[in-house]
C-alpha cells in the first residue's frame, strides 16, 4: 500500500473517531456538563489545583503520557510486521486507550480530583483501594528510577541534546511568569517560547561541533555519567514536582507539546514530499512475519510491548493525578483525555512509518529491505535503548531530508525530542507518586508523611535506591552507574498494561453504579486487557523461573496475585452489589 495513503487513512480514522465515538462518550455515556463543579475551582490552592485553559492542560497531559513509550514500543513490536502493529495502535487507541484515559479523567473529576485508587474505595471497597495503591506505587517506582537512566542514555547518545533540554527550564519558567503573573498574550508568548526552544537546539548542535561548552562528564570520575545524570535529574524532579504547577511543570510540558506538534508536522510533511518525489520510498518491512526463535509470540506479547501508542495504565495516573486538578470545566475532558490519546496514536503511526518505510531510503551503504534486516535480524526487546531508538532516528532523519533538513540536524531534533519527553514523564511521575504517598499516609493516620516536601522526598529517595542498588548472583550491591532499575524493567510492560486493565475495572464499576449498560464501553476493553495481560504475565513467569531470575519471578508473582485478588473482589461487588450500596456518582 502507498505509504502516504496509509498514513492519511490512519490520521483520518483518528479524526472521525474523535467527532463520533469521542462525542458519544462525552454526551451519552459520561454526560459532561460545563456548569458542573470541578476540583480545580472547588479546591484551588495555587500549587496543584489550578483552573487552566484547556489548550495548556492538553499540552501538559499529552507530553506527560507520551514519554518514550510510543517510540520505543512500536520500534520493538514492529518485528512482527507493520500491519499488526498499525492495527493495534489505531483500533486499540480509539476503542480502548482513549476510552481509558477519558474515563479516568472524568471519574477523578467527579470525585474531588482523587486518584483512581481512592475512587476504588468508594465504588468497590477499601481492600481493592489498597491493592490498587500497591500496584500503582510499584509501577511509578520503576518509571521514576528508569527514566533517569533513559535520559542519561539519550544524553550520551545525542550530546547535542544536553544544552537544549536543560535550557528549556528557564524558558518554561519565563513563559509561566509572563502568562500568569503579567497576563501576557498566550499566543505571542507561545511563539516566543517555541522559537527560543528551537534556538537552543541549534545552539546545542553548534556547541557539539565547536566544543566550547562540555556536555559530558569525564570518564575518569568515580561515578559514571549515567549515575551523575540520574542524581541531577532526581534533584530536578524533586523541585519540579513540589513547585506550583504554573511555575515549571505546566509551562514546560506545554512548550514540549508544541515541539512534538512541529516534529510530527515535519515527519508527516516529509512522508508526503518523499512519497511524491521518490519512487524508492516504500514499505520494506514485512506486513506480517514470524519474529524468530529468540522472540516471544505475537499474541499476547505485542499488546504488552506496544503500550503507550494504544493503551497504557500510566495514563490513568496522569489523568487522575495532575490533569484532573487543572481542568477548568468538565467539557474540556474530551479534548484533553480522549483527544490527547488519539494524537499519541498518530505519533505511534509516524514511528511505524519511519521504520517500515523510512529505512528504505538507506542506512549507510545499505538500502531497501537490506536496511530493514540490518536492525531486525534478532529480537529487539533484549537490546539496549540505543538499539531500540536507532531505526526510528535513522528513518526519521531520512524522511526529513526531503524537506532539505540535513541528516545531522534531523538527528539532533530527534535526540532533543526523545530526551525532553522522557523528562516530562519523569517530573510528572514524581508528582503523582507524591500524591500516592500522601493519600496512603493520610489513610494510615501518618500526617507527617503526607506533606508535599516529605512525600516527594520519599518518592525520590525510593526511586534513587532502586536505581543505584544492584542484585546480581543473589547479592545486593551498590551500582554507581544507576542501572539497577533495569533489573525490574522487563516487568514494567506487563505491570503497566495490568494497571490499564485495573483502571478500566474501576471506571466500569463507576458506570455500573449509574445504571443501565453504559459500563460495556469500558467493561469489554477491561476484559480484553485482563486476559491478554494475565496471559503475558504467566508466560513471563515461566521464562523467569526457567532462567532462574527469581527476583523478577517473585515480584511478578506478587503483582499477578494482587491483580487477581482485586479482579475477584470487583467481580463479586459487580455481580451482587446494588446501586444503592454506594454513593451515586455525579
- Cβ–Cβ < 8 Å for 102, 492: no
Is 263 within a domain? yes
3-state secondary structure of 488: coil
- Cβ–Cβ < 8 Å for 451, 465: no
Task: With cut-offs at 50, 70 and 90, classify the pLDDT of residue 577.
Answer: low
- Cβ–Cβ < 8 Å for 312, 400: no
Is 426 within a domain? yes
Mean pLDDT along residues 64-79 = 85
Residue 146 has pLDDT above 60, yes or no: yes
3-state secondary structure of 10: helix
| CA–CA distance, 44 with 452 (Å, rounded to integer) | 16
Residue 378 has pLDDT above 60, yes or no: yes
Is 312 within a domain? yes
Q: In CATH, what number is assigned to the domain containing residue 172?
A: 1.20.1740.10
pLDDT value of position 188: 93
| CA–CA distance, 581 with 586 (Å, rounded to integer) | 15
| CA–CA distance, 459 with 436 (Å, rounded to integer) | 9
pLDDT value of position 529: 92
Cα end-to-end distance, the chain, whole Å: 47
Which stretch of 301-315, 466-480, 536-550 has the lowest confidence by average pLDDT? Answer: 466-480
pLDDT tens digit sequence for 160-202:
888 888 999 999 999 999 998 888 898 899 999 999 988 888 8
Which stretch of 48-62, 123-137, 308-322, 376-390 has the lowest confidence by average pLDDT? Answer: 376-390
Residue 35 has pLDDT above 50, yes or no: yes
What is the distance, to the nearest Å, from the Cα of residue 120 to the centroid of all Cα atoms in its chain? 23
How many domains would you assign to the chain? 1
Is 11 within a domain? yes
| CA–CA distance, 327 with 48 (Å, rounded to integer) | 11
Surface-to-core class of residue 453, CB atoms within 10 Å of its CB (0-12 exposed, 13-18 middle, 19+ buried): exposed
Is 586 within a domain? no
Distances (CA, A) of 301 to 13, 60, 230, 428, 494: 25, 30, 30, 27, 9
Rg for the chain, CA atoms, rounded: 23
| CA–CA distance, 399 with 307 (Å, rounded to integer) | 25
- Cβ–Cβ < 8 Å for 205, 408: yes
Run of H or E residues at 313: helix 313-319
- Cβ–Cβ < 8 Å for 82, 289: no
Q: Is 583 left (phi over 0), alpha (psi -120 to 50) or beta?
A: beta
Angle at 297 between CA 293 and CA 301, to 5 degrees: 135
Run of H or E residues at 439: helix 407-443
Nearest to 467 by CA among 135, 237, 234: 234
| CA–CA distance, 302 with 165 (Å, rounded to integer) | 32
Range of the domain at 67: 3-581
pLDDT tens digit sequence for 464-481:
888 887 666 555 566 777
- Chain-wide mean pLDDT for the chain? 86
Residue 581 has pLDDT above 50, yes or no: no
Is 351 within a domain? yes
* Most confident range, picked from 195-204, 269-278, 382-391, 436-445: 269-278
Which stretch of 111-115, 152-156, 515-519 has the lowest confidence by average pLDDT? Answer: 152-156
The DSSP letter of residue 20 is I
pLDDT value of position 476: 57
| CA–CA distance, 334 with 347 (Å, rounded to integer) | 19
pLDDT tens digit sequence for 260-288:
888 889 999 999 999 999 888 899 889 99
| CA–CA distance, 502 with 116 (Å, rounded to integer) | 9
Is 105 within a domain? yes
The DSSP letter of residue 308 is T
Amino acid at each position: 500500500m502507498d505509504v502516504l495513503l496509509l498514513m492519511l487513512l490512519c490520521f483520518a480514522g483518528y479524526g472521525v473517531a474523535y467527532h463520533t465515538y469521542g462525542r458519544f462518550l462525552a454526551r451519552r455515556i459520561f454526560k459532561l456538563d460545563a456548569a458542573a463543579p470541578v476540583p480545580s475551582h472547588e479546591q484551588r490552592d495555587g500549587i496543584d489545583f489550578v483552573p487552566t485553559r484547556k489548550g495548556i492542560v492538553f499540552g501538559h497531559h499529552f507530553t506527560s503520557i507520551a514519554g518514550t513509550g510510543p517510540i520505543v514500543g512500536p520500534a520493538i513490536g514492529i518485528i512482527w510486521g507493520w500491519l499488526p502493529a498499525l492495527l493495534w495502535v489505531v483500533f486499540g487507541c480509539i476503542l480502548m486507550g482513549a476510552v481509558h484515559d477519558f474515563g479516568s479523567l472524568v471519574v477523578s473529576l467527579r470525585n474531588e480530583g482523587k486518584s483512581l485508587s481512592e475512587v476504588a474505595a468508594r465504588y468497590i471497597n477499601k481492600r481493592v483501594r489498597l491493592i490498587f495503591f500497591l500496584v500503582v506505587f510499584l509501577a511509578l517506582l520503576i518509571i521514576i528510577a528508569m527514566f533517569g537512566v533513559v535520559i542519561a542514555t539519550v544524553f550520551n547518545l545525542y550530546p547535542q541534546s544536553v544544552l537544549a533540554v536543560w535550557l528549556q527550564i528557564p524558558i518554561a519558567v519565563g513563559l509561566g511568569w509572563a502568562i500568569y503573573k503579567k497576563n501576557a498574550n498566550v499566543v505571542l508568548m507561545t511563539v516566543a517560547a517555541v522559537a527560543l526552544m528551537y534556538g537552543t537546539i541549534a545552539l546545542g548542535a553548534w556547541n557539539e561541533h565547536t566544543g566550547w561548552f562540555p556536555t559530558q562528564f569525564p570518564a575518569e570520575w568515580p561515578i559514571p555519567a549515567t549515575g551523575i545524570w540520574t542524581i541531577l535529574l532526581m534533584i530536578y524532579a524533586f523541585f519540579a514536582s513540589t513547585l506550583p504547577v504554573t511555575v515549571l511543570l505546566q509551562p514546560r510540558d506545554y512548550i514540549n507539546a508544541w515541539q512534538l506538534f512541529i516534529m510530527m508536522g515535519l515527519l508527516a510533511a516529509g512522508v508526503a514530499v518523499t512519497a511524491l518525489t521518490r519512487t524508492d520510498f516504500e514499505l520494506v518491512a514485512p506486513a506480517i512475519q514470524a519474529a524468530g526463535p529468540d522472540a516471544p509470540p505475537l499474541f499476547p506479547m505485542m499488546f504488552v510491548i506496544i503500550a503507550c501508542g494504544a493503551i497504557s495504565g500510566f495514563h490513568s495516573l496522569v489523568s487522575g493525578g495532575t490533569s484532573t486538578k487543572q481542568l477548568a470545566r468538565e467539557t474540556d475532558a474530551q479534548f484533553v483525555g480522549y483527544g490527547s490519546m488519539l494524537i499519541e496514536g498518530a505519533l505511534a503511526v509516524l514511528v511505524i512509518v519511519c521504520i517500515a518505510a523510512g529505512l528504505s531510503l538507506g542506512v549507510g551503504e545499505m538500502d531497501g529491505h537490506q536496511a530493514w534486516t540490518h536492525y531486525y535480524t534478532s529480537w529487539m526487546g533484549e537490546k539496549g535503548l540505543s538499539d531500540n531508538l536507532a531505526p526510528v532516528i535513522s528513518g526519521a532523519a531520512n524522511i526529513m531530508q526531503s524537506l532539505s533538513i540535513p541528516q545531522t540536524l534531523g538527528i539532533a531534533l530527534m535526540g532533543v525530542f526523545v530526551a525532553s519527553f522522557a523528562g516530562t514523564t519523569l517530573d510528572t511521575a514524581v508528582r503523582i507518586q507524591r500524591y500516592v504517598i500522601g493519600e496512603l499516609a493520610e489513610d494510615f493516620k501518618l500526617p507527617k508523611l503526607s506533606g508535599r516536601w516529605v512525600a516527594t522526598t520519599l518518592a525520590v529517595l525510593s526511586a534513587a535506591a532502586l536505581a543505584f542498588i544492584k542484585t546480581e548472583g543473589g547479592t545486593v550491591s551498590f551500582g554507581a552507574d544507576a542501572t539497577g532499575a533495569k533489573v525490574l524493567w522487563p516487568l514494567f510492560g506487563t505491570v503497566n498494561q495490568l494497571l490499564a486493565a485495573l483502571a478500566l475495572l474501576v471506571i466500569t464499576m463507576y458506570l455500573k453504579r449509574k445504571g443501565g449498560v453504559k459500563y460495556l464501553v469500558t467493561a469489554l476493553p477491561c476484559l480484553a486487557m485482563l486476559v491478554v495481560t494475565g496471559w503475558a504475565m504467566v508466560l513471563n513467569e515461566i521464562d523467569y523461573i526457567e532462567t532462574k531470575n527469581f527476583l523478577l519471578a517473585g515480584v511478578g508473582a506478587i503483582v499477578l496475585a494482587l491483580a487477581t485478588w482485586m479482579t475477584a473482589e470487583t467481580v463479586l461487588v459487580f455481580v451482587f452489589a446494588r446501586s444503592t450500596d454506594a454513593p451515586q456518582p455525579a
